[in-house]
Amino acid sequence: MSATTEKKRPRSAVTSGRKLLIGGDPNSAWSRRYHDLVTRHVADLGGRDMLSEAQLSLVRRAAALAVELESMEARMSEGQAVNLDTFGRAASHLRRLYESIGLKRTPRDVTPTLAELIAQDEAEQAAEEAAAAKAAAGAAEARKAARRSRRGGLPHE
């Protein structure tokens, strides 16, 4: 084939999504974790169709930093020395990247609903009533036992 008749790919494998990285081992633990983070961050941001190339690039940089930070944390857990200044700087950069792309922690609402509060109140009242009834039954039984003991253990006829 001549140069004019050869098929040329219009986009790179990374751009088209066929590959996640230009080189390296796609089966390494680092690459698999990187892929997981990129995928999850993209999902958190509404999906690939909602992201510009610049945002996707920032997601990739954030994922790479996160994987490196996790690697450093693993080394620390094994008692190995880690440059804490480098670790702190990387963590700060990661936070800024997350802010830039709009990832943020959204607290879960743990406030009980009105129905839950009512159910809890009813359960507490039922428990208090059951305890009071049990205590009253116990007190009545104790009075009966005291009367029997005063009469010499004979039941009242």
Question: Does the residue 4 lie in any domain?
Answer: no
10 band by pLDDT with thresholds 50, 70 and 90? confident
pLDDT of residue 147: 80
Token pair belonging to 93: 């950069």
Q: Rounded to whole angstroms, how far apart are CA atoms 41 and 130?
A: 52
Q: Same domain, yes or no, for 114 and 150?
A: yes
Report residue 84 CA to chain centroid gap: 26
**At 96, is the pLDDT very low, low, confident or very high (cuts 50, 70, 90)?**
very high
Instruction: Using the Cα atoms of residue 107, residue 112, residue 114 and residue 116 in order, give the sign of their dihedral.
Output: positive
> Do 41 and 79 belong to one domain?
yes
Domain hosting residue 87, numbered range: 13-101
Task: Please identify, among 79, 101, 123, the residue that sits at the C-terminal boundary of a domain.
Answer: 101
- Tens of pLDDT, residues 34-87: 999 999 999 988 898 999 999 999 999 999 999 999 999 999 999 999 999 999
The larger pLDDT score, comparing residue 154 to residue 124, is at 124
| Higher pLDDT among residues 114 and 19, named by residue | 114
For the CA atoms of 54, 60, 61, 67, the dihedral, rounded to the nearest 10 degrees, stands at 170
Residues 22 and 41 in one domain: yes
- Whether residue 1 is contained in a domain is answered as no
50/118 same-domain check:
no
Per-residue confidence (pLDDT) for residue 6, from 0 to 100: 60
The answer to whether residues 83 and 129 belong to one domain is no
Distance between CA atoms of residues 48 and 39, nearest Å? 9
Report the amino acid identity of residue 36. Answer: D
Classify residue 152: in a domain, yes or no.
yes
